[in-house]
Amino acid sequence: MIKQLNAAPDHAKLVAWVNEWAELCEPEAIYWCDGTNTEYYGLCDEMVKSGLAVRLNSKLRPDCVLFKSDPSDVARVEARTYIASEKKEDAGPTNNWIDPVELKKEMRALYKGCMHGRTMYVIPYSMGPVGSNIAKIGVEITDSAYVVINMHVMTRVGNAVLDVLGKDGEFVPCIHSVGKPLENGASDNGIWPCAPMDKKYIAQFPETREIWSFGSGYGGNAILGKKCLALRIATVQARDEGWMAEHMLILKLTNPEGKVKYVTGAFPSACGKTNLAMLIPTLPGWKVETIGDDIAWMKFGKDGRLYAINPENGFFGVAPGTSMHSNKNAMLSCAKETIFTNCALRENGDIWWEGIEVPLEPGEKLIDWKGNVWEQGQVDADGNKVKAAHPNARFSARAKNCPAIASNWEDPNGVPIDAFLFGGRRPSTLPLVYQSMSWEHGVFIGSTVGSEVTAAALDVKAGTVRRDPFAMLPFCGYNMGDYFQHWLDIGKVEGAKLPKIFCVNWFRKTADGRWLWPGFGENSRVLKWIFERCDGEGKAVETPIGFMPTTDAIDRSGIENEVTDADIAELLTFDKEGWKNELAMIKEHYKKFDRLPKALADQLAQLEERLAK
């Protein structure tokens, strides 16, 4: 008999679905999450007691816990992520595909008895403000209390959601297990539970709008409202219903005269969305406020403009590199009520990571993300510095704790978008900023986004340029060529007043490896030019790749010594030879797409012509 820890809601379909999974997974107990603080802190206490989590020093970091995951379970696993559409061609060339019937059979065998000795938590959650007509409801079943507390932070969980569901409301069913049954009263003994790589599956079924995840407890693999629902499933819904689900930050930009514009930005994972969303402008009088840092859902308003909401409720932010200097608002967001994963632990009971810019005591030793004692300056057998925190260590912080959160961030109608930015880590060739010549040209730019590889996903080679169209390579729930077409179609909607499109690159380096651009708060100087361009102002020159600012169009007041005339000239030159090489790479990239829209092939041909002149 499975214990029922509390009463099930009055929703026959939901209860039947939960019972069906309970029968297969055979948990010890079923618990319906109510979303309260009592529930949240109760689960934190349990995990601290069992050794899965460490409670941080409550004077330094109130109501915070630290987890260390299994060293094999530290990021999204793209090679084990599937779009199981009925037809392979509908998943397209960029997604892994298995026939849904076959995959379900395979996965059911894994789910059989997978929750032995564990509680099955049922999490009703809303992506977007509860009850908003843009919001979507999901229900996640999981055997991980770590996932429950993360869902509390990252989504809106609990009874309010059940109220909206009523007796027969629709929800996206999401099933998750860490894939580590506990037999005969065994316990985790403080060790992060997960399954071996070849048993991990992150599966989306686009036609039936289901999510099945097995074997991983980390981030986007397990917190299913985020990438699985709000992007992979939502892109399919957005395509069918004429809206957009994008891997984009949303920010509110106010100029010194008090005029407001809203800007979104699609940068690949670990390429600066959270940082830009929370930026503190160095330019006097300018203000940036945060609407969202990772995902935007956008729909047309009656006025023909695109209105964006942030479907999330918190930030699952990259920890390393985050400091009071680089991102003060993120540091303050995670000052309390935060879940830390794979950060290092200090002797004083606080967290630490590379780039936090908090000096350690002389001789102070840490507990690193693997649980080993770590000494300052420690090197491994090959002489490489041992990292105290994993490069993809994360904080799960509540949006309401962000000092820069915009007062209207939960407006159910969303905010009207003026500009879209695309960008990635490109040490050469791509200028600091340029503007597209048209919507179609902007879609072309989005389709060619590339970045040096980061630590946000396993199984991709570091250091090389990876093409990540619209920063959606791992997150598009259908054929990428059709997704390009959807972007082109959005541009043809009658009466549409579309955002202007820009490409930015904060990551240019000199030949000897120095950053050419200081980035972070100084990026406000680029936002200023973008703001001006949206109003038809801002000096620019037309080049074969689009409109580039003249070197004096970027306000360098106060940083002329840091970014010299020579630097800005290098940041804003059109590098003809580099672009010829880029063109060849884009051609290679485009060969992958079986359903490449003709308009994009034309854009490529036109770029080639302009470069040949």
Of 174, 271, 503, 534, the active-site residue reads 271
Site residue total, Mn ion (CB under 5 A) = 2
Told to check if 312 binds Mn ion by CB under 5 A, we report: no
- Count of other CB atoms within 10 angstroms of residue 200: 23
Residue 249: φ, ψ to 5° = -75, 160
**25 in catalytic set:** no
Give the contacts of 409 (CB within 8 A, at least 6 positions apart).
289, 290, 291, 292, 310, 399
Which listed option, ligand SPV, ligand GTP, Mn ion, none, makes contact with residue 523 (CB within 5 to 8 Å by class)? ligand GTP
- The whole-angstrom separation of Cα 329 and Cα 291 is 13
Which listed option, Mn ion, ligand SPV, ligand GTP, none, makes contact with residue 69 (CB within 5 to 8 Å by class)? none
Among 69, 213, 269, 342, binds ligand SPV (CB under 6 A): 269
First-to-last CA distance in the chain?
76
Give the contact letters, 561-600, x = binds to ligand GTP (CB under 6 A), - = no.
Answer: ----------------------------------------
Contact of 409 with 298, CB cutoff 8 Å: no
Q: Which tokens go with 41?
A: 């802190």
Q: How far is the CB of 249 from ligand GTP (least distance, A)?
A: 7
Q: How far is the CB of 252 from ligand GTP (least distance, A)?
A: 17
Told to check if 26 binds Mn ion by CB under 5 A, we report: no
- Count of other CB atoms within 10 angstroms of residue 135: 18
Told to check if 317 binds ligand GTP by CB under 6 A, we report: yes
Instruction: Give the alpha-carbon dihedral of 72, 73, 79, 81, to 10 degrees.
Output: 160
Q: Which tokens go with 190?
A: 């403080």
Choose the binding region for ligand SPV from 37-45, 218-226, 362-370, 555-563 (rule: CB under 6 A).
218-226
Which listed option, Mn ion, ligand GTP, ligand SPV, none, makes contact with residue 219 (CB within 5 to 8 Å by class)? ligand SPV
Told to check if 294 binds Mn ion by CB under 5 A, we report: yes
- The whole-angstrom separation of Cα 330 and Cα 448 is 30
- The whole-angstrom separation of Cα 520 and Cα 507 is 11
Residue 365 Cα to chain centre, angstroms = 32
Binding to ligand SPV (CB under 6 A) within 136-195 occurs at: none
Give the contact letters, 264-293, x = binds to Mn ion (CB under 5 A), - = no.
Answer: -----x------------------------
Q: How far is the CB of 128 from ligand SPV (least distance, A)?
A: 17
Specify the DSSP element, H or E, that contains 105. Answer: helix 100-111
Give the contacts of 59 (CB within 8 A, at least 6 positions apart).
none
Q: How far is the CB of 248 from Mn ion (least distance, A)?
A: 9
Q: Which is nearer to ligand SPV, 61 or 226 (CB)?
A: 226
Give the contacts of 385 (CB within 8 A, at least 6 positions apart).
377, 378, 379
Told to check if 311 binds ligand GTP by CB under 6 A, we report: no
Among 212, 506, 547, 590, binds ligand GTP (CB under 6 A): 506
- The whole-angstrom separation of Cα 343 and Cα 389 is 5
Q: Which is nearer to Mn ion, 294 or 570 (CB)?
A: 294
Told to check if 267 binds ligand GTP by CB under 6 A, we report: yes
Among 35, 206, 217, 219, binds ligand SPV (CB under 6 A): 219
User: Which residue's C-beta sits nearest to Mn ion?
Assistant: 294
Binding to ligand GTP (CB under 6 A) within 62-81 occurs at: none
Q: How far is the CB of 219 from ligand SPV (least distance, A)?
A: 3
Binding to ligand GTP (CB under 6 A) within 431-460 occurs at: 456
Told to check if 255 binds ligand GTP by CB under 6 A, we report: no
Instruction: Give the alpha-carbon dihedral of 425, 429, 431, 435, to 10 degrees.
Output: -100
Q: How far is the CB of 268 from ligand SPV (least distance, A)?
A: 8
Q: Which is nearer to ligand SPV, 316 or 529 (CB)?
A: 316
- The whole-angstrom separation of Cα 170 and Cα 159 is 15
- The whole-angstrom separation of Cα 279 and Cα 152 is 25
- The whole-angstrom separation of Cα 64 and Cα 401 is 13
For residue 233, give the DSSP letter.
I
Burial class (CB in 10 A: 0-12, 13-18, 19+), 566: exposed
Told to check if 456 binds ligand SPV by CB under 6 A, we report: yes
- The whole-angstrom separation of Cα 218 and Cα 239 is 28
Which listed option, ligand SPV, ligand GTP, Mn ion, none, makes contact with residue 76 (CB within 5 to 8 Å by class)? ligand SPV
Told to check if 428 binds ligand GTP by CB under 6 A, we report: no
Q: Which tokens go with 420?
A: 């879209």
Told to check if 519 binds ligand GTP by CB under 6 A, we report: yes
Q: Indicate the residue type of 419.
A: A
Q: How far is the CB of 294 from Mn ion (least distance, A)?
A: 4
Told to check if 520 binds ligand GTP by CB under 6 A, we report: yes
Give the contact letters, 286-315, x = binds to ligand SPV (CB under 6 A), - = no.
Answer: --------x---------------------
- Sign for the CA dihedral angle at 9, 12, 18, 23 comes to positive
Choose the binding region for ligand SPV from 6-14, 219-227, 256-264, 458-466 (rule: CB under 6 A).
219-227
- The whole-angstrom separation of Cα 439 and Cα 499 is 9
Specify the DSSP element, H or E, that contains 146. Answer: helix 145-154
Q: Which is nearer to Mn ion, 25 or 228 (CB)?
A: 228
Helix 598-612, helix 576-591: angle, nearest 10:
160
Instruction: Give the alpha-carbon dihedral of 428, 317, 313, 264, to 10 degrees.
Output: -10
- What residues line the site for Mn ion (CB under 5 A)? 269, 294
- What residues line the site for ligand GTP (CB under 6 A)? 267, 269-275, 293-294, 317-318, 320-321, 326, 456, 506-507, 515, 519-520, 523
Catalytic positions, written as ranges: 271
- What residues line the site for ligand SPV (CB under 6 A)? 76, 219-220, 226-227, 269, 294, 316, 456
